Amino acid sequence: MSDLDDLSIYDMFRMEAEEQVEQLQTRLLGLKDGDANEIALRSLMRGAHSLKGAARVVGLNAAVRLTHAMEERFVAAQEGRAITQPEVDILLRSVDVLRGLTVISEDEAPAWSIEQEPAIAMLVTELTGVPAEAETSADSETPTPEDAAVEEPPTRVSEDPTSSAAPDKVIADFNLRITSQRFDRIIAMSSDNLVQSQSLVRLQEQMLRIQRRLERLVRSVADARRKGARDPEKQAAVLNIIMAQGERDRARLGGLLHELDRMIHTHEANSERLHQEVLHARLRPFGDVVPNLRRLVRDISSEMGKKVRLEVSGDRTEVDRDILEKLRSPLEHLLRNALDHGLETPAQRLAAGKTEEGTIRLRAYHANGRLAITLADDGNGVNITAVSERAINRGLVRQSVASLLSDAEILEFLFLPGFSTRTEVTEISGRGFGLDVVQSTVHESGGSVKIENNPGRGTTFHIVLPVTRSLMRVMRIEIENETYAVPLNRLSRVANLNVTREPDGSATVELANGTEATRIPVIHMMNALQSAGTQIQAGPATVLFFLNDKGREAPIAFQIDRIVDETTVAVRQLDPRLGRMAAIAAVTLTEQNVPLLIVEPDDVLRLAVQAQQRNIPTDPSQAGAGRGSVLVVDDSGTVRQMLRRTLLRARYQVATAEHGAEAWNLLQVQHFDLLVSDVDMPEMNGIELVEHVRGNSRLSQLPIILLSYKGREEDRRRGLEAGADAYVTKGEFQEQAFLQVVTDLVGPAELPGANVHPEGSAS
């Protein structure tokens, strides 16, 4: 069962919305810097497109209308109508509205739609130039995921410089996010440690056995001495035997102690590596905070009539998650300070011989085991005299003392609470909050902050801060001089049976069932693993029986050469460079650090059926019966899971892919009875995927259903002409009608030799 089965459709939608919103904002901010190239526009269109499809699944029709308007504007830009900066502002406001979806629950969604309806109507009108029709109460009803029509497809910038309530609200109940690769490494290390701990236990048991034997020897020596007074020669002989046994045990104990010492050192090294990996799991790239900072600079500079460019370097520098979250507010304050106090207006900059566009440079890097951040502007710098006078007027220092202070000492006044050189209060600054927040937050994190002032050339702030798979029981088997691991929890039984060659060339074994006997087909395990032509050996043989995914014994046996042993292994994911390996789930390492492949029972059963069909003539009347393996392809995670669950409820087996290229790779190594694909996808779109399938001799007859939000007749004709067997419009999607199309193409979901569990599993 997929891990996603524990999540509701709305939970998956919210996860997708959070990702798409951040990507949309990042790309939109890039348009300001002339990044309106084809790649950027395609990414923007895909983001809005996927979010629209996901919103349609959960019944958020208001969000569907907004994302559709955004998507249409991006499509128009691809066709040559450039997006203006005022339109970028509108699109960013649209992103702000959609961001609200990432922090509300499913129960709050209907209220959100009602509350945001006026804003959405206005944004749609601004984007399309056509007045938006208000959503009726009937339209606003949120259907269940099963009934929803399918349409293809947080941190907020605080307006108040004294408030970071929006980010804090999100951070308060955070989920630690780490890459799947790093999580796999942590699991692998933990599993290695556990396996080694089991080895230490076995070593301890051996040492205890020797200890008990030595204790018996000591007692034997005492007995021999007690009895030896009457027979000295016998005493000497017994003592020699005892001493010889003791010497052997002493040598054995010495070897075990040496082995124990080696294992302890290895265990300590592994524990240290695990500790470091866990620490690194808390690290996130500094660039995670950059999109919101760019948005802040863009909004405030536009509001103030200033031209400003934010340059960021070191965005891949890793920062502790807690420190990174605490840095958001200080960096916002520093940027506001630079925009309001530091950078001049275009006219002032030109008069000073500068370019009219100001520059703020933000850099993050590691230095001497610490995180260093610099934020520099090329403005007019800090007016030392004004700071000194303000400090005197507030009674912070006497004039006679102020005259003796250095520039660096005077700059320290800027970090005092409520200190500001502004005499008027504005939306940006003048309230007396800012740098004191920066300093206190940095100090709380164990760091420091300093100001470097260059009158007429700008100000630089220097911040220095501290930087800070699972186990499986398997049976190892040998087939054709190769060793594989088989998960014990999927093994039904192992038996020594007589393999019989049938007249038609197939092989069977006889199973006793009470007073009756049943003949079960048997194939060589290597045929199931590699679809090779390995010959089955008639006569006595060792065979395995697997449990299918419903927990019943599958009616097919697998011949192997021999059983090696049973053991616990640490599961590791296959290197992605190897691609998808048929019938192989993962890999582990043996005691000699030799890779050992772990088989995937579901794939083995499926490939066994295929191998059996190749070797055994079938009844033509049964052709096409019992087909039920479906590959679903869609770049929207929400849509993928909705379609997957629909098919699983109908008892089909389902695998999923995110785009056409991934689907094409899966089609090379796995057998499917049906392909269900979206049309608009990255990497390889649905039309291209259909053309690839129809051009392949092995796959050319595979039934294909195309799903798309495009319902025009020319779109439908294009899909069918490419080779699709059916074209379903997502906007008119109905579950039962869709399942009827599936049944018409591939028949009911009954795989021969393997019962299909309604909950199934997806790749």
Residues pairing with 458 in the sheet: 454
Question: Which range among 41-45, 241-245, 501-505 shows the weakest confidence by mean pLDDT?
Answer: 241-245
Same structural domain for residues 263 and 302? no
Same structural domain for residues 186 and 103? no
Does some domain include residue 227?
A: yes
Instruction: Give the span between the Cα atoms of 45 and 23, in whole angstroms.
Output: 11
Looking at 617, 644, 663, which one is the last position of a domain? 617
Does some domain include residue 758?
A: no
- Higher pLDDT: 208 or 420? It is 208
Same structural domain for residues 431 and 487? no
Same structural domain for residues 56 and 112? yes
Q: What pLDDT is stored for residue 386 in this prediction?
A: 87
Q: Which range of residues forms the domain containing residue 706?
A: 621-746
Q: From residue 440, how far is each of 286, 444, 460, 583, 606 by CA, in Å?
A: 20, 6, 18, 57, 62
Any long-range contacts for 65-70 (C-beta under 8 Å, 24+ apart)?
65/120, 65/124, 65/132, 65/135, 66/94, 66/97, 66/98, 66/120, 66/123, 66/124, 67/98, 69/94, 69/123, 69/124, 69/127, 69/128, 70/24, 70/44, 70/94, 70/127
Q: What pLDDT is stored for residue 605 in this prediction?
A: 82
Q: What pLDDT is stored for residue 690 in this prediction?
A: 92
Q: What pLDDT is stored for residue 139 in this prediction?
A: 44
Instruction: Give the span between the Cα atoms of 644 and 3, in whole angstroms.
Output: 13
Does some domain include residue 75?
A: yes
Residue 471 has pLDDT above 70, yes or no: no
Looking at 97, 127, 147, which one is the last position of a domain? 147
Does some domain include residue 321?
A: yes
Q: What pLDDT is stored for residue 1 in this prediction?
A: 43
Q: What pLDDT is stored for residue 2 in this prediction?
A: 45
Task: Assign residue 691 the CATH number of its domain.
Answer: 3.40.50.2300
Question: Which range among 195-204, 229-238, 602-611 shows the weakest confidence by mean pLDDT?
Answer: 229-238
Same structural domain for residues 494 and 415? no
Same structural domain for residues 597 and 664? no
What DSSP line would sit under 161-220, residue for residue?
TT--HHHHHHHTT------HHHHHHHHHHHHHHHHHHHHHHHHHHHHHHHHHHHHHHHHH
Q: What pLDDT is stored for residue 731 in this prediction?
A: 64
Q: What pLDDT is stored for residue 116 in this prediction?
A: 87
Q: Tell me: the pLDDT tens digits for 719-731?
A: 888 899 999 887 6
Q: Tell me: the pLDDT tens digits for 88-98?
A: 888 888 888 88
Q: What pLDDT is stored for residue 551 in this prediction?
A: 64
Q: What pLDDT is stored for residue 622 in this prediction?
A: 35
| Through-space distance between the first and last CA atoms of the chain, rounded to whole angstroms | 9
- Higher pLDDT: 646 or 267? It is 646
Instruction: Give the span between the Cα atoms of 121 and 530, in whole angstroms.
Output: 58
Question: Which range among 73-77, 293-297, 466-470, 660-664 shows the weakest confidence by mean pLDDT?
Answer: 466-470
Spacing of C-alpha 149 from chain mean position: 27
How does residue 581 score in pLDDT terms, banded at 50, 70 and 90? low
Same structural domain for residues 613 and 660? no
Q: What is the mean pLDDT of residues 251-263?
A: 73
User: What's the domain count of the chain?
Assistant: 5
Residue 156 has pLDDT above 50, yes or no: no
Does some domain include residue 451?
A: yes
Same structural domain for residues 15 and 91? yes
Question: Which range among 358-362, 464-468, 709-713 shows the weakest confidence by mean pLDDT?
Answer: 464-468
Q: What pLDDT is stored for residue 332 in this prediction?
A: 84
Same structural domain for residues 682 and 699? yes
Task: Assign residue 453 the CATH number of its domain.
Answer: 3.30.565.10
Same structural domain for residues 673 and 576? no
